[in-house]
Copies of this chain bind each other. A is one copy, B any other.
């Protein structure tokens, strides 16, 4: 940053300026195709409104205050989800007034920060431990706030959460009895199902989650504990949960951008899920084309996450990204079509951890830079 005016320096800190033609944007950079992004946001809004369920958009995907605001103002979102207290702090500081930390917060310092945040915003959090309920209650009382708690149940993801049924009931009762806390409902996210490729297998996983969640909601209701919120779902499965008549808050995140892996998830007709388009790209340059048959681009492991595979080159069937190292991508180019400084758009394998590697989104419309949005909570993991 330039000390004088605190403005980022193009080239060192930031890859572009407003109004710049796309062709001049420095590489590697994280691009948003704004038309596709806006359409994705509109499509989900319409579908969830038609189903009569709320959207609590997941900000862990984009970590951007600007995008969170857009989802609230134009995308029908009632609030957002975060995964980390530090993300929530950035979002509340950016004016977002309704945040669910869709995760456990168990460290004493983080619990204190979470309760402090509830002075300025509606704060919800997930719990799966009785001792954690007591600690959250003490912090809420200390700061004179209310924290709304969702009991997280493991309905098939194999990660956090108590078992559905008795364990969930016991925890809900404890929350309900705790001062400073409000029992708000269930977190029942089946994350492992989101990327199941085949439609029937994905539906079966979600139907199992819905059945377990339904039984738990009924059990709680029978003891007088109403679940105001039944939350979960993601981009790969939200259609099932939205139609369940049970879930009422959808936590989709990736839908705003999509990625190469989500494009491999199939609909009932065996075609890729068609409702959302690729809005996120890595803009990259050819930096070496010294030998026939392959070229090298300037986008590697430090600008995209490989956990879900290599990136796909957008709108080019004649070349293929075949190997990735820290700062390089090797591109098979059998027709020797690529020359130095040629530009390509890559669709990253996995959007969330890719965005977390960048400081800026370069928003593109009509091949010009229309906006520059900071990745406000980039690296905020605490």
Does residue A311 face the partner (Cβ distance < 8 Å to B)?
no
Q: A84-B327, A326-B353 are in contact. Are A107 and B285 (CB under 8 A)?
A: yes
Query: In the complex, what distance in Å separates the CA atom of A106 from the CA atom of B342?
Result: 11
Q: Which of A86, A302, A357 has the largest count of B CB atoms less than 10 A from its CB?
A: A302
Q: A109-B11, A357-B357 are in contact. Are A330 and B158 (CB under 8 A)?
A: yes
User: Of the candidates B12, B154, B305, B326, which one forms a contact with A291 in the assembled complex, judged by CB atoms under 8 Å apart?
Assistant: B154
Tell me whether chain A's interface is mostly helix, strand or loop, or mixed: loop
Query: In the complex, what distance in Å separates the CA atom of A76 from the CA atom of B60?
Result: 43
Q: A296-B159, A326-B60, A330-B158 are in contact. Are A129 and B340 (CB under 8 A)?
A: yes
Contact with B along A91-111 (1 / 0, CB 8 A): 000000000000111110110
- Minimum CB–CB distance for A200 against chain B, Å: 24
Inter-subunit contact B159/A382 (CB<8 Å): no
Does residue A301 face the partner (Cβ distance < 8 Å to B)?
yes
- Minimum CB–CB distance for A381 against chain B, Å: 5
Total chain A interface residues with beta-carbon distance under 8 A: 71
Q: A307-B301, A381-B303 are in contact. Are A160 and B287 (CB under 8 A)?
A: yes
Name A85's closest neighbour in chain B (CB-CB).
Answer: B11
Query: In the complex, what distance in Å separates the CA atom of A89 from the CA atom of B2?
Result: 13
Q: A328-B160, A381-B302 are in contact. Are A86 and B340 (CB under 8 A)?
A: no
Name A352's closest neighbour in chain B (CB-CB).
Answer: B326
Q: A161-B288, A288-B161 are in contact. Are A341 and B106 (CB under 8 A)?
A: yes
- Minimum CB–CB distance for A257 against chain B, Å: 14
7 smallest beta-carbon distances between A and B, as pairs? A160-B288, A128-B290, A301-B353, A83-B327, A306-B307, A104-B287, A162-B290
Q: 5 A-B pairs, CB-CB below 8 angstroms?
A: A11-B110, A12-B380, A26-B107, A160-B288, A301-B350
Using CB atoms and an 8 Å cutoff, list the residues of chain A in contact with chain B: 11-12, 15, 26-29, 60, 83-86, 89-90, 103-107, 109-110, 113, 128-129, 131-132, 154, 158-163, 167, 191, 285, 287-291, 294, 296, 298, 301-303, 305-307, 323-328, 330, 340-341, 350, 352-353, 356-359, 378-382
